[in-house]
Amino acid sequence: MNLIAEQIETYKSIIETEGDTLLVNMGPQHPSTHGVLRLVLKLKGEEVVKIEPVIGYLHRGFEKLSENLTYIQIVPLTDRMDYLASITNELAYVLTIEKALKIEVPKKAIYLRVLTAELQRIVSHLVWLGTFGLDLGGALGGGSTLFLYCFREREIILDLFEEFSGARMMYNFNQIGGLRYQPPLDFFSKLKATLPKLKQAFAEYEEMLQENYVFKVRTKNIGVLEVSLAQRMGASGPVLRGSGLAYDIRKAYPYSGYENFEFEIPIGENGDCFDRAKVRILEMKQSLRIIQQALKGMPEGEVAIRPPVRVPTAVKVPAGETYMHIEAPRGDLGVFLVSDGTEKPYRLKWRAPSFSNLAVLPFISNGHKVADVMAILGSLDPVFGEVDR
């Protein structure tokens, strides 16, 4: 591999003979790139003229690997894709297979899936909020204050997950036909005790951000994303909703029993970084609402339609094509499955929300200062396991 030749290629596309411009290479190792993103910035003084994101530093070949694994073996692989929201990935995949197999899961499994997916959404947004605080640097009391607060609350929820599934991050917990385990006996009482703490914490964050002058200056009118551009680029999730379009797959195309739950879709007005942040914080509150409803209506019974499968060749999906999408914390997560009737998928394509959301970055950051690029990137919340796949 010729590193220099590759870099020259990247620069060639961005260099245009145009007076006093400076090229700055940001990443792949950069404290604020949320992983391994490389940005080639063309600057005029402090101002950004052009941005070219270079992705692919975490390309691990999920889709190709899936073709050599059986349907049950793929579930742990999906955990590692959007590693901040493992359960929603599992859910998307498992729902696809269940749709293709046309099987119904027990009601308790549906409720538990909704409950865990919403808890996962809170966890994911907490990590986002913490790292967003780091990105904004001194804006929030030395930078790491918000980070420490958010991770404090995250640990509370991860403890619950650890009790439930045995893992802190990679759960391997949804399976085709239900859930792998019954929740432990005191899971629900512990969760109930946790909810007031979370509610209080979210109120704290809201106060911390929305009343904070420095935060407002750093985020208001920064990286304004028009609805039309967002739709054209395929942005989804909080990025799209921050621009003012109330599109949520949980409402638009309900899956896994979401039609039984009451919640609102928070939207922003201007589509700037502040609105995207606001939408996420309000979403966490709505998730709490859903969790409370799920706890209230939690039915009794089995969590899987058959005992956990030991032999990994048990599932055979009939030949054909299936598409299923769900609302992941980052947006519209889609799975497209082409099956040829064997125990391994012929093709498994993922529609990753982070990838589409990241694509708007070059369009909305022109004309801003260098420091604002980090705020904009942070507000888009890409996860590179998912962008590069």
The contact set with other proteins (CB under 8 A) reads 1, 3, 28-31, 35-36, 56-61, 64-65, 68, 76-77, 80, 83-84, 127, 130-131, 147-149, 151-152, 154-155, 158, 168-170, 384-385
Q: How far is the CB of 73 from other proteins (least distance, A)?
A: 10
Q: How far is the CB of 313 from other proteins (least distance, A)?
A: 18
Tokens at 339, concatenated? 């099956």
Q: Select 64 or 192, whichever has its Cβ closest to other proteins.
A: 64
CA angle 335, 78, 273 (to 5 degrees): 75
Strands laid side by side in the 38-44 sheet: 22-26, 38-44, 47-54
Q: Select 76 or 254, whichever has its Cβ closest to other proteins.
A: 76
14 touches 23 (CB < 8 A): yes
Tokens at 102, concatenated? 């046309």
Residues with Cβ within 8 Å of 282's Cβ and at least 6 positions away in sequence, in order, are 266
Largest CA distance in the chain: 71
Whole-angstrom distance, CA of residue 356 vs CA of residue 99: 25
Q: How far is the CB of 77 from other proteins (least distance, A)?
A: 6
Q: Select 64 or 197, whichever has its Cβ closest to other proteins.
A: 64
Q: Select 106 or 133, whichever has its Cβ closest to other proteins.
A: 133
DSSP codes joined into one string, 72-137: TTHHHHHHTTSTT-HHHHHHHHHHHHHHHHT-PPPHHHHHHHHHHHHHHHHHHHHHHHHHHHHHTG
Q: How far is the CB of 68 from other proteins (least distance, A)?
A: 7
Q: How far is the CB of 359 from other proteins (least distance, A)?
A: 19
Q: How far is the CB of 94 from other proteins (least distance, A)?
A: 18
C-alpha 209: how far from chain center: 21
Q: Select 23 or 298, whichever has its Cβ closest to other proteins.
A: 23
Tokens at 20, concatenated? 């006093």
Q: Select 56 or 367, whichever has its Cβ closest to other proteins.
A: 56
Q: How many CB atoms lie within 10 A of CB 232?
A: 12
Whole-angstrom distance, CA of residue 72 vs CA of residue 101: 13
Q: Select 147 or 261, whichever has its Cβ closest to other proteins.
A: 147
Strand partners, 178: 175, 304
Q: How far is the CB of 121 from other proteins (least distance, A)?
A: 16
Q: How far is the CB of 83 from other proteins (least distance, A)?
A: 4
Q: Select 26 or 361, whichever has its Cβ closest to other proteins.
A: 26
